[in-house]
Structure 1
Amino acid sequence: MSTPTTRIALVTGAGQGIGRAIALRLARDGFDLALADIKPEGLEQVAAEVQALGRKSQVQRCDVSDRSQVFDAVAQAREHLGRLDVMINNAGIAQVAPLLDARPEDVQRILGINLQGVLWGIQAAAEAFKAQQGGGKIINACSIAGHEGYPLLGIYCATKFAVRALTQAAAKELAHAGITVNSYCPGVVGTDMWVEIDRRMAEVTGARLGESYDRFVGNIALGRAETPDDVAAFVSYLSSPDANYMTGQSVMIDGGLVYR
């Protein structure tokens, strides 16, 4: 059981990439971590890294497109770690294809993970926060693709625009309970997701491998690709008391690529 001063965060998609970086940053910030991912093989390693930083961790396989599994992940976090203070709906996937090639099964898969997964996370966290009667923070994974549509990423962009809408609506609905809801919007992050995006763009357009990635990175004002730690640093702020007066926002952290 955690001590009263320990904060607890649940991170979905925590087994790799941005989710792993968020978990480790929050562990350094003093959080105990509940770690959820559809691929359990990476979770134990992240859990060990969290524990090496002196924090407690709990792991659970979770398919965020399944509402019952998301609610169970929240329940397990509270049972094993004592409560929940921050819910980070990080899990997501990308799809690269022309809009005219989209098929129902492709659309349903990405909607289930990127959109419904966030909605179920909002619901489960809000239920837990209200039961605890102490407010809480919900933080969603959005993207620069939630602010601007990109060719060959149209369905992905649609899910991220929808996350912005959910974030705003949930912030307004839950403010009375002391619950804040915000999103982080990364740009081009050097993770396996972007390796896959680049590979698929090469297949669709005939570009060489790495060409699409290099083109996007070349437009970043700060002159380099984003790292998972760059994203995690902003999520650290959103998870902290410094962000207590911020809600309903989907903030870009992209090194200067999209301006709004």
Structure 2
Amino acid sequence: MSQEPRIAVITGAAQGIGRAIALRLADDGIDVAVNDIPSNEKKLLEVVAEIQAKGRRSIPLIGDVAVEGEVRGFIEQTVSDLGGIDIMVANAGIARSVELIDMSVEDWDCMISVNLRGVMLCYKYAAQQMIKQGRGGRILGASSILGKKGAMTFSSYCATKFAVRGLTQSLALEVSKHNITVNAYCPGLIHTSMTSASTSGQSTDQHGNAVLPVPPSMPGAGPEVIASIVSYLVKPEAYFITGQSIDVNGGRYMS
């Protein structure tokens, strides 16, 4: 990149990993536009206030990443209000636990629309804007430990997260000539409200060990471990890292 990254868009930023990334980038001196769906607007506005309290500019972007017009709209709003886009973190996603033989087409389509189409749309419109600006950029997407290894009752989730890795590699090749890097982060079982909601009465770590068995001493972690990886990958010195899917899982899975 020809200059220090200045303006970031983070999707799914009202809570969990997205919120942690937004606050970390603000600490790094970056202005941050944060996105989430209307039902999370109150939490999103709180994140905006936290970023502004750190002395950085921030705006809320209310919209659904699965809807093309809404993604295009919040990209345009960021450019208009903040002056461009140097970093896109396509973090928004959902998870559901159901066996494939019991899965409805509606459930499948919902997972694909948010976790895969949403990432594709964010990649597309962010890349278009970065190319137009001509100053390079950083694009990141949310894959998962389950984007590298299948798991019982998570077939649709795994399908989307495996696909994000292929999407990331392909776009990385397409935009490298524009000094844009594209990478994905692959969290293990991070302690967030989403993972807690999918544990079916078990603790987060108990559920994780059931999905991907590991020794009981394997550590757990919060969203800050993902934020730290994103913080590095968007820095100018990370220009030589592209097309990668970075594992951040405490050793639950080693590729």
Deviation at 1:5, TM superposition (A): 6.1
Match of 1:56 in 2: 57
Shift in alpha-carbon separation, 1:5–1:183, aligned structure 2, 3 A? closer
Match of 2:14 in 1: 15
Q: TM-score, normalised by structure 2?
A: 0.93
Distance 1:222 1:72 in 2: 46
Paired letter, 1:118: V
The correspondence of residues 29-178 of structure 1 with structure 2, limited to 5 A, is 29-38=28-37, 39-178=40-179
The correspondence of residues 211-222 of structure 1 with structure 2, limited to 5 A, is 211-213=206-208, 215=210, 219=214
Distance 1:249 1:221 in 2: 29
Match of 1:193 in 2: 194
Shift in alpha-carbon separation, 1:247–1:91, aligned structure 2, 3 A? same
- Pick one of 231, 239, 246 that aligns with 1:244: 239
Distance 2:134 2:26 in 1: 24
Paired letter, 1:164: R
1:217-257 Cα distance to aligned partner (Å, 9 max, x none) = 97268732121001100010111112111110011011111
* Unpaired stretches in structure 2, ≥5 consecutive residues: none
- Pick one of 234, 238, 254 that aligns with 2:249: 254
The answer to whether the 8 A contact 1:217-1:223 is kept is no
SS of match in other structure, 1:36: strand
Distance 2:169 2:212 in 1: 29
Shift in alpha-carbon separation, 1:171–1:6, aligned structure 2, 3 A? closer
The answer to whether the 8 A contact 2:95-2:194 is kept is yes
Distance 1:244 1:6 in 2: 12
Paired letter, 1:19: G
* Unpaired stretches in structure 1, ≥5 consecutive residues: 203-207
1:35-58 Cα distance to aligned partner (Å, 9 max, x none) = 100121211100111011111101
Distance 1:258 1:133 in 2: 38
Shift in alpha-carbon separation, 1:135–1:187, aligned structure 2, 3 A? same
Please say if 1:181 is aligned against 2:182.
Answer: yes
1:182-210 Cα distance to aligned partner (Å, 9 max, x none) = 000000110011111102xx5xxxxx566
Paired letter, 1:238: L
Q: TM-score, normalised by structure 1?
A: 0.91
Deviation at 1:215, TM superposition (A): 4.7
SS of match in other structure, 1:158: helix
Shift in alpha-carbon separation, 1:209–1:248, aligned structure 2, 3 A? closer
